[in-house]
Amino acid sequence: MQRFALIGAGFIGTVHAANLAAHPDVDFRFVFDVDAARSEALASRHGAAAARDLDEAFDPALVEAVFIASSTDTHSGNLRRAADAGIAALVEKPIDLDYARAAELVAHVERSGIPAMVDFNRRFDRDHAELRRIVASGELGDVSIIQMSSRGPVLPPLDYLKVSGGQMRDHTVHFFDLARWLTGLDPVEVSVLGSALADPRVAEIGDVDTSVATLRLPGDGLVQIDSVRATGYGYDERIEVLGSRGLAESGRMRTGNVTTYLGDRVSSEGLHPGWFERVQPTYASALDEFVAALETGSPITATLADGLKAQAIAEAATRSLQSGRTEKITYS
């Protein structure tokens, strides 16, 4: 049984709180949030306590692990605190929006020896994992092209976008990670074209909301990722892996299985209304891997080093958006 503190009681903290409370091997002790009322409310809903302060939440006498789901700018401070306290940490991406600081911190945390995991939850999508199994089995041959889409449905608030680091670091980074995870390879270069189509103010803050990134893998396979912030048909995510011998696809996921035939049209239920509904089950599975690692010593597959590498790709992608060039990706 692992005692946990949860740092952050916002939307995603609320999701994690429910999963922590339901996990048979977790003793959910504390919630900490800068908003004490919010912290109190979430804690009491799940039989946990609101931590008095961060010292209590990170007290190694009281907890074995923290789940860091606080605002992006506090990830690195909280992760460092866990390392220094010798407490295991599961952290939302990004580690730090500044790549150099993130790299320094990852090295520091690795030296500390604490178990640490970045919450790349999409790796725990059941269909994506089956796709990865097929790639690894070799039945598709060598990877030629991977195609990924992540679309919609609603532009995040401008205030969020301003501090998000831009679409590559905030949105596409999940798929940079999936590209590495699916192939076991570190992409070597990247080229991106992007546009602000959903809202002209996105361009004003120097960001894009619609982009196509192309990566080159060692061995010359290519990866194509389109990332779209706003759609009119819900949240659309799919991955396709083309190999020298065949193709496999983790397809669009429908919300239901009922089809109607009326007149000359066939129609059925569409996609999930939002990204959260689509990926919701992955959060519990990601937590499960982390808890199992603490309980049994099984491996953590989404390491901080993975988080850093995905970020390195996002850095080069961001440069490419500005330079109009294919950019080399440098991993520290």
Of 65, 87, 248, 314, the residue at the interface with a second copy (CB under 8 A) is 248
Stretch that binds a second copy, among 11-19, 50-58, 223-231, 291-299 (CB under 8 A): 223-231
Please give the helix or strand (H or E) that residue 214 lies within, else none. Answer: strand 210-216
CA 22 from chain center: how many Å? 22
Q: Does 214 bind a second copy (CB under 8 A)?
A: yes
Q: Binding to a second copy by residue 221, rule CB under 8 A? A: yes
Cα(270)–Cα(252) distance, rounded to whole angstroms?
Answer: 9
Is residue 41 part of the contact set for a second copy (CB under 8 A)?
A: no
From CA 220, how far away is CA 188, in angstroms rounded?
9
24 binds a second copy (CB under 8 A): no
The residue count for binding a second copy (CB under 8 A) is: 73
* Residues 113, 115: Cα–Cα separation, whole Å: 6
Which residue type occupies 203?
Answer: A
247 near a second copy (CB under 8 A): yes
Report DSSP state, residue 116.
Answer: E
Rounded CA separation 300/304 (Å):
10
Determine the Cα–Cα distance for residues 252 and 229; give it in Å rounded to an integer.
17
Pick the closest to residue 94 from 190, 191, 172 (CA basis). Answer: 172
61 binds a second copy (CB under 8 A): no
Q: Which CB atom, from 86 or from 270, has the smaller least distance to a second copy? A: 270
44 binds a second copy, rule: CB under 8 A: no
Written as six digits, the tokens of 6 are: 């949860």
Nearer to a second copy, 257 or 296 (CB): 257
β-strand pairing of 236-243 with 143-151: antiparallel
Q: Report the distance separating Cα 153 and Cα 158, nearest Å.
A: 15
Q: Does 204 bind a second copy (CB under 8 A)?
A: no
Under rule CB under 8 A, which residues in 150-189 are in contact with a second copy? 151, 189
- The correct pick among 40, 104, 199, 249 for binding a second copy (CB under 8 A) is 249
316 touches a second copy (CB under 8 A): no
Q: Indicate whether 136 belongs to the interface with a second copy (CB under 8 A).
A: no
Residue from 44, 267, 330, 332 binding a second copy (CB under 8 A): 267
β-strands 327-328, 189-195: how paired?
Answer: antiparallel
Q: How far apart are CA 324 and CA 193, in angstroms?
A: 8
Among 60, 138, 141, 184, interactor with a second copy by CB under 8 A: 141
Query: Does 196 help bind a second copy (rule: CB under 8 A)?
Result: yes
Asked if 205 is part of the footprint of a second copy (rule: CB under 8 A), the reply reads: no
- Does position 284 interact with a second copy (CB under 8 A)? The reply is no
Choose one: 79-87, 89-97, 147-155, 170-178; the region binding a second copy (CB under 8 A): 147-155
